[in-house]
């Protein structure tokens, strides 16, 4: 039975184009859902300017801005003072503003409901963390949570990176289960979308029957487009490698730098690092000590258009991350028909395989990973056609599984499924 298009109440705490990966996820959900269904978007007031500049509210939608800046700004200021050099910890403590945001949002939606507002489905899409729990279920409509991504533990093969990454924070994140007992989101959710196996295992066993696999990231196939692979590397043309991401410890860049140092006398090689972060100076010094800084372009922060250009200019994208819950940049590289080189752990281990590049087992630790990077990069130089074909396979997979349009269609099917059971 074909039901009328549902009216969706979409909660996206992070939602704006060009304001980071999670905010981009919120924007993709909102901007694409409105083409299919009527949407009431709830989002934080800090997103207002970027949304208005992007033309929001879009047709077939309304936006309800939730203002908790009186709490969020002092909280961020305090986190900045306590952790001036630790971006992740600062972000983690600042994120507690979400619980106040949700409380205010629930109050406002109750008032709107009493005034006659009507919805059929409630979908909370950002934050993407399993500790981002909402009470919107009290509006008595089917609630979809996620896609969530999280619950990934550190592999013990990288103890030095674990120390740099403040692994004690992961214990604190587990307190999210205690919050869950209080807020009762998972108990009252109709469907929980989980991005990875680690996320699924982080959810109480009694609620796993409500979980559906659903990657939180997608890729814009109109932006990340395939172009011909660069001329294969040779004795006169360098092997071009690109990394895109934040400069934080778990990204594993020192292992890539050491692999470059091992290869620099074997064949021409060039590395472009797109991004920035607290470890840039440390990594630049490491590259200088390895005598490879002349082989590296420190591109810095980049717009999405610039990211596309840098990926398209490379022979391979390398993401040597040792604790990556997501891996959106792998989807972007695949969409550009570029092979990917990454570590088989967390999100990358579930996105990539040896058909679209190469995934490195993490068990041997930094020495083994560095050796695998050396061997893989050498293989690209020696067998370029094989790697070009892996890039083509990646594009085909991105089209089939990971486009945002495909993900929205999957969500619409879930909405219809829920409405048919009401």
Q: Which domains does the chain have, with CATH numbers?
A: 7-218+403-420 (3.40.50.2000), 239-401 (3.40.50.2000)
Judged against a pLDDT cut of 90, whether residue 84 lies above it is answered with no
SS3 318: strand
Q: Is the per-residue pLDDT at 415 higher than 80?
A: yes
pLDDT-derived band at 156, boundaries 50, 70, 90: confident
Q: How far apart are CA 178 and CA 304, in angstroms?
A: 38
User: In this model, does residue 183 exceed pLDDT 90?
Assistant: no
% of the chain exceeding 70 in pLDDT:
93
Report the pLDDT value the prediction gives residue 109, as an integer from 0 to 100: 97
* 313-323 per-position pLDDT tens digit: 999 999 999 98
Peptide bond into 416 cis (omega under 30): no
pLDDT tens column, 226-247: 999 999 999 999 999 999 999 9
Q: Could you tell me the pTM of the whole model?
A: 0.90
Res. 96 pLDDT band, cuts 50 70 90 = confident
The whole-number pLDDT of residue 180 equals 58
Per-residue pLDDT, 176: 56
| pLDDT of 291 | 96
pLDDT of residue 85: 66
List the 211-213 sheet strands across, edge first.
61-66, 38-44, 7-12, 121-126, 143-148, 191-194, 211-213
pLDDT for residue 326: 86
pLDDT tens-digit readout, 19-31: 888 999 999 999 9
pLDDT score for 154: 77
Average pLDDT over residues 47-55: 96
Answer yes or no: is pLDDT of 405 > 60.
yes
Residue 409 bridge partners (DSSP): none
Residue 213 has a pLDDT of 93
Check whether 151 has a pLDDT greater than 60: yes
Average pLDDT, rounded, for the chain: 91
- Cβ atoms 165, 88 nearer than 8 A: yes
Task: With H, G, I as helix, E, B as strand and everything else as coil, classify residue 224.
Answer: coil
Percent of the chain with pLDDT over 90: 74
- Burial tier of 134 (Cβ tally within 10 Å: 0-12, 13-18, 19+): buried
Q: How far apart are CA 300 and CA 52, in angstroms?
A: 27
Confidence of residue 177 (pLDDT cuts 50, 70, 90): low
Please state which of the ranges 169-173, 198-202, 252-256, 366-370 shows the lowest mean pLDDT.
169-173
- The residues, ordered by sequence, that sit 6+ positions from 304 with a Cβ below 8 Å of its Cβ are 18, 223
Q: What pLDDT is stored for residue 172 in this prediction? A: 55
Q: What is the mean pLDDT of residues 183-211?
A: 90
Give 396's pLDDT tier (boundaries 50, 70, 90).
Answer: very high
Classified as helix, coil or strand, 191 is strand
pLDDT of residue 90: 74
Confidence check: pLDDT of 178 > 90: no
CA–CA separation, 331 and 218 (whole Å): 7
Q: What is the mean pLDDT of residues 330-342?
A: 98
What pLDDT does 402 receive?
Answer: 93
Mean pLDDT of 410-422: 90
Between 164 and 278, whose confidence is greater? 278
- pLDDT band (50, 70, 90) for residue 41: very high
pLDDT of residue 312 exceeding 80: yes
């Amino acid at each position: 039975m074909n039901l009328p298009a549902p009216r969706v109440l979409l909660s996206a705490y992070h939602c704006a184009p060009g304001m980071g990966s999670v905010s981009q996820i919120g924007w993709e959900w909102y901007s694409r859902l409105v083409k299919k269904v009527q949407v009431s978007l709830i989002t934080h007031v800090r997103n207002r300017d970027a949304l208005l500049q992007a033309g929001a509210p879009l047709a077939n939608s309304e936006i309800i801005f939730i203002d908790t800046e009186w709490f969020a700004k002092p909280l961020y200021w305090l986190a900045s003072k306590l952790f001036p050099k630790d971006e992740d910890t600062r972000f983690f403590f600042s994120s507690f503003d979400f619980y106040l945001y949700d409380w205010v949002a629930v109050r406002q939606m109750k008032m709107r409901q009493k005034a006659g507002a009507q919805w059929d489905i409630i979908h909370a899409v950002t934050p993407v963390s399993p500790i981002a729990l909402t009470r919107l279920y009290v509006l008595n409509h089917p609630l979809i949570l996620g896609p969530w991504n999280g619950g990934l533990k550190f592999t013990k093969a990288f103890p030095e990176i674990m120390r740099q990454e403040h692994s004690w924070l992961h214990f604190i994140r587990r307190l999210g289960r205690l919050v869950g007992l209080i807020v009762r989101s998972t108990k009252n959710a109709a469907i929980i979308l989980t991005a990875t196996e680690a996320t699924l295992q982080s959810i109480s066993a009694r609620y796993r029957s409500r979980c559906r696999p659903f990657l939180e990231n997608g890729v814009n196939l109109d932006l990340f487009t395939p172009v011909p692979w660069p001329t294969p590397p040779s004795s006169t043309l360098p092997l071009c490698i690109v990394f895109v991401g934040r400069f934080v410890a778990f990204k594993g860049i020192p292992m890539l730098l050491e692999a470059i140092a091992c290869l620099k006398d074997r064949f021409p090689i060039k590395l472009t690092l797109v991004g920035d972060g607290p470890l840039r100076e440390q990594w630049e010094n490491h590259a200088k000590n390895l005598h490879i800084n002349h082989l590296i372009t420190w591109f810095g922060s980049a717009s999405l258009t610039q990211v596309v250009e840098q990926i398209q200019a490379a022979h391979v994208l390398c993401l040597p991350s040792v604790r990556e819950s997501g891996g959106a940049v792998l989807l972007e590289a695949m969409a550009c028909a570029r092979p990917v080189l990454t570590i088989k752990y967390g999100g990358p281990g579930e996105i990539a395989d040896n058909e679209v590049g190469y995934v490195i087992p993490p068990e041997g630790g930094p020495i083994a990973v560095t050796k695998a990077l050396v061997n893989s990069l050498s293989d690209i130089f020696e067998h370029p056609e094989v790697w070009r074909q892996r890039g083509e396979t990646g594009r085909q997979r991105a089209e089939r599984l990971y486009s945002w349009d495909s993900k929205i269609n999957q969500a619409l099917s879930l909405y219809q499924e829920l409405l048919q059971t009401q």
